[in-house]
Amino acid sequence: MTLRLKTTCAILCLWMAQSCAADNYSENPAALALVDEMVREEGFDREQLLQLFAQAERQDSALKAMTRPAEKSKAWWEYREIFADKDREKGGVAFFNEHREALARAESELGVPAEIIVAIIGVETRYGRVTGGYRVIDALSSMAFDYPTELSNHVARSKFFTSELKNYLLLTREQSFDPLDLTGSYAGAMGLGQFMPSSYREYAIDFDGDDIIDIWNNPVDAIGSVANYFKRHGWRSGETVVVAADAPADAPEQLFVKGRKDLKPQRSVAEFAAAGIVAREEVDPEAMATAMKFELREGYEYWLGLHNFYVITRYNHSAMYAMSVYQLSQRLAAEVGR
């Protein structure tokens, strides 16, 4: 064999090895470090984890999707047409009627309105029709070990997804699930309510008493788990969620929610009223609230979100998300006669 041919073969072999290694995580340094940690701290079997990561596949489409979420940067009037549409309303009525008993029990035992539970499941997965087609092990491994470096928060997000991957390994062991079987979104969110693994371990519950917490195929467990999530985040039964408001065109912009850091109520309804942002219905002036200014096709609409509105944002840290859930819930309540 000539030197040139040997060199070509060597390069080809090296390229093939690198290509194969890039498609899975069997030799990824961060994955191997995680294996060491899970063996040392959680008592996992090293060989089983190595075999698992050898079968975990990098998902470029998931990584690409992370750089441009579909609803990012949309105006309110566009956003709500995506998440509070007629299809979700129709599907929500059907889901409500099919699962009235479980919803009534969740409302009675956990204090969360049935229409809020249904609206969450509708916004997240269209009542289980769109739960994601990625293997969770693939999605979480891709995000943990290959999170796009061009994104400014890639270090923090990589740590977040590494933590979620740890929780995924723990929950599959705790529930005796095969970690290669479960599917979810491109970010690793799972089931009808799209729980991340840490949320599953903390809030998902066996609501039908069969000793299995199945939020993928069991709507009863999904209903109870969503309700438990809201209860654990402080939902106050019977309290107002949000009220429409009026505001002058020159109301200071700093009074309105701009991002996730502004979602927690910091001012009272009375303080907003003094600044000209006035609720259209009677509400406790001492109640803490956040003010929101949403863009319409023409002009703006204004809202004051109260404590329970903030609780909805704990599910997804977005005022527009929470408003979509709330408005869909109100349509569903009207349709089913609540």
pLDDT per residue as tens digits for the range 269-288 = 999 999 999 999 999 999 99
User: Which H/E stretch holds residue 220?
Assistant: helix 219-232
Mean pLDDT over 68-96 rounds to: 87
* Boundaries of every domain in the chain: 17-55, 60-68+131-232, 242-305
Report pLDDT for 72.
60
Predicted pLDDT of residue 293? 97
pLDDT at 216 over 50: yes
Confidence at residue 22, expressed as pLDDT on a 0 to 100 scale: 55
Helix (H) or strand (E) holding 6: helix 3-23
Query: Shortest CA distance to 326 belongs to which of 122, 139, 187, 104?
Result: 122
Q: Which pLDDT band, with edges at 50, 70 and 90, does 71 fall under? A: low
Asked whether the predicted pLDDT for residue 262 surpasses 50, the reply is yes
Q: Is 208 exposed, middle or buried (0-12, 13-18, 19+ CB in 10 A)?
A: middle
Specify the pLDDT at position 84.
Answer: 81
pLDDT > 70 in the chain, percent = 92
**Could you report the per-residue pLDDT of 139-185, keeping only the tens digit for each?**
999 999 999 888 888 899 999 999 999 999 999 999 999 999 999 99
Active site members: 124
Whole-angstrom distance, CA of residue 227 vs CA of residue 238: 14
Q: Burial-class residue 181 by CB neighbours within 10 Å (0-12, 13-18, 19+).
A: exposed
Q: Which of 118-132, 143-157, 196-210, 308-322 has the lowest mean pLDDT?
A: 143-157
Average pLDDT, the chain: 92
CATH of span 60-68+131-232: 1.10.8.350
What is the arithmetic mean of pLDDT over 319-336? 97
In the numeric block, which tokens belong to residue 200? 């599953």
At residue 17, does pLDDT exceed 60? no
Q: What is the 3-state secondary structure (H, E, C) of 107-145?
A: HHHHCCCHHHHHHHHHHHHCCCCCCCCEEHHHHHHHHHH
Whether the pLDDT of residue 4 is over 50: the answer is no
What is the Cα–Cα distance from 224 to 205, expressed in whole angstroms?
6
* pLDDT (tens digit per residue) in 224-245: 999 999 999 999 999 999 999 9
Once rounded to an integer, what is the mean pLDDT over residues 66-95? 87
